[in-house]
Every structure is written in C-alpha cells, then in structure tokens.
Amino acid sequence: MIREDGIKWDGDPKKGDQKFIHALSSVGYHSVAPDLRGFSDTEAPTSITSYTCDHIVNDLVALIDSLGVEQVFLVAHDWGAIMGWYLCLFKPERVKAFVCLSVPFTPRSPQMKPMDRMQGFFGDDYYICRFQAPGEIEVEIAELGTTNVLKTIFSVRKPDPPCFPKGNAFGIRTNASISFPSWLSEEELTYYVTKFDQKGFIGGLNYYQAIDQNWEVTEKWTGVQVKVPVMFIVGDLDMVYTTLGTNEYIHNGDFKNDVPFLEEAVLMEGVGHFINQERAKEIGSHIYDFIKKFK
C-alpha cells in the first residue's frame, strides 16, 4: 500500500492509520506500506526532478522486486494514488489489482500543460498553483506552525476548489481553536507533526512542482489506457471529487473508457478526503471484498 504523506501502515498505535491497518489485518491481509521518497524517514532530495513519476515508479518496482514477488495488490491514496496510476500505466504486469482511494486516473492532455490548465480554470490562488513558487508556502507554514497547518488540512470540508491567498494560505485565524475531526486522535496528529518536522514539507511540495515535468515524461503514454482491475472509492465531500469536472468524469463513462477494467466506483456519503482514516473499517471491507476475488 502507498500513501502520500509518508506514514507507514504498520499497526503501531503510535503511528497514523492504525485503525485502517487493523481493519485489513482483521480480514487476513499482511501489508507493506512504503514511504514515498521525501516523506518521513526517507531521503528527501531537494531537486524537483527527483520526484517525477518515472523515478517513483522505479522505486516501487524495486520494492516489489525486493519482496520476491511478481505482482502485488495495490492500495493507494492521494499522491500515493497518483503514483499508483503511473505504476499501473507503466508496469501493468506488476499489479494484480488496484484499489484507488480519492484520486481518479487523469488522462494526459496533449494540448495543454497541467499547470496552464489549472491556472486557467481556477486562478493564481488555486492551491496547486500557489505550490509552484519554491519557498513561499514553506515560509507561511513555518509562521503558522506544522501542528496548526496539519490540523487544518485534516479538518477542511469545503466543496469549492481550495484556494490559498497570499499572506495566510491556510486561512488560520490567530488564537482561533481548530477542532479535531472525530476520527483523528491527538496521538496520530503528534506523530504526523513529528515526521513532517524532520525534513519539512519539501518532499510533498516537490511532487506538486513536478506536475508539468510528469506531463513531459509521459508524452508517449498519451491516450494509453490503464489495463489492470480497479476499484475506486471516494467520499462525496472530498475536495477532489467536488472539483470542477471530476465527478462528471467519474460518472459519465469517461473514467471507464480510460480504465476499461474499472470494476466499481464507490461513492461514500458524508466522507471527506482522508477516507482511509475516517471510515477505516468500511474501506478495509471494500478492499477485502474486492481483492479476494483474485486470490
């Protein structure tokens, strides 16, 4: 399994996502959950080019090889899901089936670079556009504090595209308390903060800053379908799902056209972006029911 923020699903109650890994363990699955490069205890190279999809897929293939297996069941969320799609696209023979959480496949558009398209749709304050200026967001995060920033990210449930105005990107008011989501413990948040404070946010931001480079790397993959069995799960309050055009893409047949072996797209009501934590047991059951068909 892969997730975007470097937290390992290893069942340690001092680490994030223990509810989810326990849900999977209870139905008999052992998992290996790598940190993506740039997160947690991994190396965090400063060069943006070190975070392009070809590098990350090579990391994943090397990991699969080290396990001594030809294929894996893949479960991934957010940036992990994005890199999971690239793994399925580049190396479909290494993936038996893919359970994708939150982020659907995004076909490459040959006409326009992704950042030009996002800026045109959403403007300069769109969060991904704001992340393109190296150093800017890091300064704001340092001023606000990692704890406040992460707590805000976990708590947000806005249906509009996230916009980060300059000066206070995360909309945190001085001295205002930020409530914990019911599914997030203080112990989990402390672990996240500790890990992000090790190396800062450079790894995570570099993934965003490499988006246009991924577009260049994948030129020969334009129009290529993802041909592995897929289950897709998303919450109806997830900002990815509510972003302009995404839910239409998922439901109007275009997603199925690009991913012909898409077996199911599950929309969970009343759930936000961090679906694997908010509804851990349900997600674990969905995963189990899907992958047991391939055993």
Q: What is the pLDDT of residues 209-233, one digit of tens each?
A: 999 999 999 999 999 999 999 999 9
Tell me what pLDDT residue 144 has. 85
Taking alpha carbons only, the member of 180, 159, 175, 177 closest to residue 242 is: 159
Over the chain, what is the mean pLDDT?
A: 86
More confident residue, 235 or 39: 235
State whether residue 171 is helix, strand or coil. coil
Cross-sheet strand order for the sheet of 230-235: 72-77, 95-101, 230-235, 262-268
Place of tokens 């948040």: 189
**Band (3; pLDDT cuts 50, 70, 90):** very low
More confident residue, 152 or 90: 90
What's the whole-number mean pLDDT along residues 231-238? 96
Q: What is the DSSP track for 18-33?
A: HHHHHHHHTTT-----
Tell me what pLDDT residue 176 has. 62
Q: Alpha-carbon dihedral of residues 78, 83, 85, 88, nearest 10 degrees?
A: -140
Which of 62-76, 112-126, 167-181, 204-218 is the least confident region?
167-181
Q: Which residues are catalytic?
A: 78, 208, 273
**How many CB atoms sit inside 10 A of residue 34's CB?**
18
For the cut 80, the answer to whether the pLDDT of residue 237 exceeds it is yes
**Band (289; pLDDT cuts 50, 70, 90):** very high
For the cut 80, the answer to whether the pLDDT of residue 24 exceeds it is no
**Tens-digit pLDDT profile for residues 146-203:** 998 898 889 888 788 888 877 777 777 656 677 778 899 999 999 999 999 888 888 8
Query: Can you list the domains of the chain with their CATH numbers?
Result: 18-111+200-294 (3.40.50.1820)
